[in-house]
Amino acid sequence: MTRYQIKVQGQLDGRWSDWFDGLTIAPQPNGETWLEGVIMDQPALHGMLKKLRDLGLPILLVEQLLPDEGNGRNENID
């Protein structure tokens, strides 16, 4: 299990959290939405990215976080 932060262009609110397997969803004033949480494995990550694609939300950043980070940076995977 790995913690990720995903940034997309477009607005989602917290009501989408269940659809995104419990990720924290944080709409930003600049029109982006940040999703953050633990994703089980690479197939689950790809499934999450597919959901975002299917909603038509451009993916701006996928970031793997260190286990003790909540919103810091570790490794860019975009």
Q: What is the predicted pLDDT for the residue at 77?
A: 42
Tell whether 76 is covered by a domain: no
Task: Give the β-pairing of 32-39 and 75-76.
Answer: unpaired
Tell whether 70 is covered by a domain: no
Q: What's this model's pTM, rounded to 2 decimal places?
A: 0.81
Domain count, the chain: 1
Instruction: Let me know: does 4 contact 64? Beta carbons within 8 Å.
Output: yes
CATH number at residue 57: 3.30.70
Using DSSP's 3-state secondary structure scheme, residue 49 falls into: helix
Using DSSP's 3-state secondary structure scheme, residue 54 falls into: helix
Q: How far apart are CA 10 and CA 69, in angstroms?
A: 24
- Span 10-18, mean pLDDT? 92
Tell whether 49 is covered by a domain: yes
Instruction: Let me know: does 63 contact 5? Beta carbons within 8 Å.
Output: yes
Tell whether 22 is covered by a domain: yes
- Residue 31 domain boundaries: 2-65
Report pLDDT digits (tens) over 19-55: 999 999 999 999 999 999 999 999 999 999 999 999 9
Q: What is the predicted pLDDT for the residue at 14?
A: 87
pLDDT-derived band at 68 (thresholds 50, 70, 90) equals low
- Residue 45 DSSP class: H
